[in-house]
Amino acid sequence: MKGALITSDLVRLLQAFFCQRLIQQRNVSHQTVCSYRDTFRLFLRFAEQQLGKSAAKMDLVDINASLVLAFLDDLESQRHNCIRSRNARLAAIRSFMHYSALLKPEALAVIQQVLAIPLKRFDRPLVKYLTQMEMQAILEAPDLLSWSGQRDQVLLATLYNSGGRVSEIIELRRANFDKNSWQAVCLHGKGRKKRVIPLWKRTTNLLKTWSAKIGLDPQQPIFPNRFGNMMSRSGVESRLRLAVSKASVQYPSLKDKVVSPHVIRHTTAMHLLQAGVDLSVIALWLGHESVATTHQYFEADLNMKEEALAKLQPPDMKFSRYKPSNDVLSFLNGL
């Protein structure tokens, strides 16, 4: 927005929202700013097509509920976004509208209509994760004869060991590790929370060997791309797909699974749970704000449920054959 010609109240409000509200007043993380930025990039491009005028000439009252609803529908139908992504975009727009209500009370009627748009409910599927043998095959898949393959092996090992989010892993620098031992990593998670995760000896050895092949600058990305810069999220996903494709030759079960960096995170949590680690420790390990979030892993482990069921004796019950009533209305009235 710097250097832009301010010609409408919408542009002024957006500039104030990002520079004053998000950055100065709330001091949100860079990831949050980027997420909100991407939302308004998509939304304003959509609005330009729908309204037939440039974003620089739009007013706040142009951002009405019907336009926002059409944008949300377009995200799902045309861009094939999931409901969670749709809700995240709506949350960014609602946050902007809450801020605009303080500065533009004369537009409160339009603002309230947008704020009344609810988040969309969605089914929560069971957590997807890999077996230990499948995970091991993926870790061994990268080509160690190439520079990128050596980086990928250390990257995937760190991702699995730490259970970190892909955004946390790609931002890792030398300064995030113990200076010489490499026995622990400090992750910067959501809400600016930091957590220190211990590393297996194998991961430590891989990091020590790999660190000798990159620069000594404390701010040097641990997992750089070919240009020496921080890898992108899509770059990590691409390299992971390559490893999964190679590992699926040994384990065909991987061909039927969609393996993403977040699935690796789920896998770490499930393996910790299966090893007997307490849920509260796993919550700290993953950086969950509430242990309730971590309960999803226990719900996904069928073996643990079967073990719990085996400890409970089934009740001794007598069964009788059901005989339907001749009067269907009496049956329906009794429901």
For 179-211, give the DSSP string.
Answer: TTT--EEEEE-GGG-EEEEE--HHHHHHHHHHH
- Select which of 21, 89, 151, 165 is catalytic: 165
d(CA 90, CA 118): 9
Give how far Cα 11 sits from Cα of 22, 42, 291, 327, Å. Answer: 15, 15, 41, 69
Nearest alpha-carbon partner for 190 in 172, 164, 170? 164
**297 catalytic residue (yes or no):** yes
CA atoms within 13 A on the CB side of 335: 5
Active site residue 165: yes
Rounded CA separation 143/153 (Å) = 8
Catalytic annotation present for 265? yes
Residue linked to tokens 């004053």: 20
How far is the C-alpha of 287 from the C-alpha of 196, rounded, in Å? Answer: 10
Candidates 190, 195, 208, 246; catalytic one: 190
Known catalytic membership, residue 288: yes
Residue where the block lists tokens 């240009």: 227
For residues 1 and 12, give the distance between their C-alpha atoms in angstroms, rounded to a whole number.
Answer: 10
The one-letter code for the residue type at 112 is: Q
Active-site annotation holder among 194, 226, 262, 295: 262
Q: What span, in angstroms and rounded, lies between the C-alpha atoms of 187 and 88?
A: 23
The DSSP code sequence of 135-189 is HHHHHT-S-TTSHHHHHHHHHHHHHHHH---HHHHHT-BGGGB-TTT--EEEEE-
- The residues annotated with a catalytic role in the active site are 165, 190, 262, 265, 288, 297
